[in-house]
Amino acid sequence: MASVPLKPRSSSGKVAASRERSLVPVGMATILPHAAKQVRRLEDQLLSQINRWGYDEIILPTFEYLDVLAPGLEPELIDHCYQFVDRTTGRTLLLRPDPTAQIARTVAMGLTGATLPLRLSYRTSVFRYETEHAGRGREIFQVGAELIGLDDAASDSEVIDLMIECLHTIGLQSFKVSLGHVGFIKGLLLRSGLSAQGQKLAEQAAARKDLPRLEEVLANEQISKRSARAIREAAELYGQEEVLARGRVLAAGDAELLSPLDRLAQVYQLLCAAGHRDSLLLDLGEFRGFDYYDGIVFDIFAEGMGAELGGGGRYDHLIGRFGRPLPSTGFGLDVDRLFRTVAFPEEGSIAARVDYLVVAPRRAARRLAAVAAQLRRAGARVVQQAMTGSDAALVSAAATAGSVQQATSVVVVGAPGVGPDDVLVLESLPAQRSGLRTGKVSRLSKKMGLAALVAAARRFRRKTKERL
C-alpha cells in the first residue's frame, strides 16, 4: 500500500488548515480596528453621560467562585454559565454571567464602603452559553448603572431617565421604553391559585411574551375562568395612561395589586415631567427574565431590532441574598445591539486615522524617533516609518505611505535639500482642490522648522478638543 502523506500536497489543504486556525468559537467574534474604534467611542459616550449623573465606575472580576455568586443567580442562568475548575483550590469557577449579581455581592461584603446611596457604573462583557441559532453571541458587551440604597419612585425614575439620556447621547432618537411592575402580574398569578409549577411556567411564558404558551399553562390549571381571563388580559395590556385605569379594574380593590399600580403611576408621571412621555409604553405584562426583579421593570426596543437593546429594574431583595438587605435598581445596555442600531458617520468624517506619518531614511532613524516623540507629546497621533530606497525617491515614497495610512500630514525627516533643523511637511489637499477623483490624495509640500511644527500640532489638538 502506498504511504499516505502527512501533509496535503495541494495548496488547498494549506488554505483549509489556515482557515481552521483562524476560526473563533461559536458565539464569539473578533472586532476589527474600524469597528473597535466605533465600539469604544460608543462606550465612552455612554459612560461619560452616566458619570455626569454622579455614578462611579467599578471594574468587576472576569470569573468568580460559583458557590459565592450562586445566591444571586437563578438556576437557569447557572446552567448557561461557562464553568471550570480552579487549579489551586479545586473549587468551581464561572466566567462572569451577570454584572448586577457581582455588584450585589461586592456591596453586601462592604467593599464599597458604608455611605449610601451608592451610584455605580460599569463597562464589561458577560459570558453565557446560547444555542448556535439563538440569535445572540456568547460574549455580550454591556454598559450599565446601579443605584443602591434608595427605595422610592424618584430613584426608579432616575435610572430610567439616565438610560434614556444615554440613548439620546449616542444619537438614538426613535425607541420605546416598555415600563411595568412585576408585582402586578405576579400578584395576579398568585391570587389565581396556580400550582407552584404552574406559577413558574406562567412566569416564564410571561417573561418571554409567549402568549400561546401562557394560554396553554392556564388551560392545564384548575383556576377560575375569571382569574385566567384577568391574567391573559394583563399579559397583553399596554399603552399610555388608559392602561393604569384598566389595571385598577382588574385589581378589583385588591391592595396587593393596587400598590404596584400606584408606584408605576408615580414613576410614569415623573418621567413624563422629564419630557419622556413619547418614549414610554406602559406594559402591565412586563416581566423581565431574571427572577431577582421585584418592582419596576423596563426594556428598550427600537424599530428594526427584533430584541431589546437593554433594560433593567428594581431588585430590592438581591443584595439581601448575600447577607445585607438593600433596596436597589439599575439598568444594562447591550453595546453590540446598540452598535448595530445607531448610524455612525464615516470614520474619515470623525477624524483621520493618523495625524502625522513621520518618515526618514534608515540612516536617520534616531532623528526619526525624536521627531515622532515630540509630536506625540504635543498630543498628536503619530506613526513613524523608516524608508528604504534612494533619497531621490524618498518624498514620493513618503506621500504614498501617507495615503496608505490615511495621514492628515506626512513629515519627511532628512529630505534632500532640507536643513538639519527643518522638516518637509506634505499636507493633504481635498479632492475638489487637487483635481483628482475621490479616493486619491494630492499633497502640498512645505519646509517647516521642527519647533513650528510641534506648536502647530498643539494648536490642532486644542481645537479638536474644543469641537468635541
Domain extents in the chain: 33-341, 352-467
User: Which of 244, 231, 236, 247 is CA-nearest to residue 188?
Assistant: 231
What average pLDDT is seen over the chain? 85
pLDDT in tens, 370-427: 999 999 999 999 999 999 888 888 998 998 888 888 888 999 998 888 888 889 999 8
CA torsion sign for 59, 65, 70, 76 is positive
Question: How far apart (Å, rounded) are the C-alpha atoms in residues 381 and 304?
Answer: 37
Is pLDDT of 304 > 60?
A: yes
pLDDT tens profile 18-35: 555 668 888 888 888 888
Q: What is the pLDDT, as a whole number, of residue 209? A: 75
pLDDT at 435: 41
Q: What is the pLDDT of residue 331?
A: 97
Looking at per-residue pLDDT, the higher value among 132 and 10 belongs to 132
- Specify whether the backbone of 129 is left (phi greater than 0), alpha (psi in -120 to 50) or beta: beta
* Res 345 pLDDT > 70: no
What pLDDT does 252 receive? Answer: 86
Residue 214: left (phi > 0), alpha (psi -120 to 50), or beta? Answer: alpha
Q: What is the pLDDT of residue 131?
A: 72
Confidence of residue 442 (pLDDT cuts 50, 70, 90): low
Looking at residue 464, its pLDDT comes to: 65
244 contacts: CB under 8 Å, gap ≥ 6: 261, 264, 265, 268, 282
CATH of domain 352-467: 3.40.50.800
| Residue 2 pLDDT level (bands cut at 50, 70, 90) | very low
pTM of the shown model: 0.80
Give the Cα-Cα-Cα angle 149, 182, 218 (nearest 5 degrees). 155
Given this model, what pLDDT does residue 347 score?
52
User: pLDDT at residue 439 above 70?
Assistant: no
What pLDDT is stored for residue 203 in this prediction? 79
Rounded CA separation 34/14 (Å): 29
Q: Is there a shared CATH topology between the 33-341 domain and the 352-467 domain? A: no
CA distance 341 to 305: 7
Count H helices and E strands in the chain, helices first.
18, 17
CATH T-level assignment (fold) for domain 33-341: BirA Bifunctional Protein; domain 2 (3.30.930)
> Which band of pLDDT confidence, cut at 50, 70 and 90, is reported for residue 307?
confident
What pLDDT shows up at residue 317? 93
